[in-house]
Amino acid sequence: MAMGPVIALRPASLWRGGGWVLLAAAIGFASPSHAAVGDRVKAAFLLNFAKFVDWPAGHFDAPDSPVQLCLQVPDDVADTIRSSLAGKSVGRRPMRVERRPESLDGCDLAYLRGDDDRVRQQLGRLPSPGLLSVYEHPDTVESGVIRLFLEERKIRFSIDVESAQAQQLTVSAKLLSVARQP
């Protein structure tokens, strides 16, 4: 019998902090496919990455301005992520999700997945400052901040601190402590 995706995150302090509650809930949802479950889990990662990153001072117009998540993913993936994050927020900031096949202007958080060359190309021309980029690619790509990847059937991530600094983002020590080295 084939097994679904296995998710492992550490340390336990992130779980106790409540930041990963959505992730635990996403794993329990009934799903028509393993891919949809994986996309729900990745939606939880995206939400929680935003909770553990500080944007540059003055980046948002107001304390309750939305966090704009822009997706460069296939339509079915965008639909799953959009429905998974409906009604979610980052502190007082509601999460707004939209698929943007071309431009990432005006985005606070971007998730890129698909053709490896296209992902690399998009990461090479990110607007700045203040864009938290999350991407899937076989290799670490310069200028991408957080890379999602599978390792031993588990979703892992690495953080490029220099790319985060170039975007004037501050990544929490808690998030850095559970990330793999790029």
Task: For residues 159-171, give the mean pLDDT.
Answer: 96
Residue 177 has pLDDT above 60, yes or no: yes
Whole-prediction pTM: 0.81
Q: Confirm or reject CATH 3.40.50 for domain 12-178, answering yes or no.
A: yes
**Per-residue pLDDT tens digits for 20-47:** 444 444 444 444 566 788 999 999 999 9
| Residues linked to residue 155 through DSSP beta bridges, in sequence order | 150
Per domain, the residue ranges of the chain are: 12-178
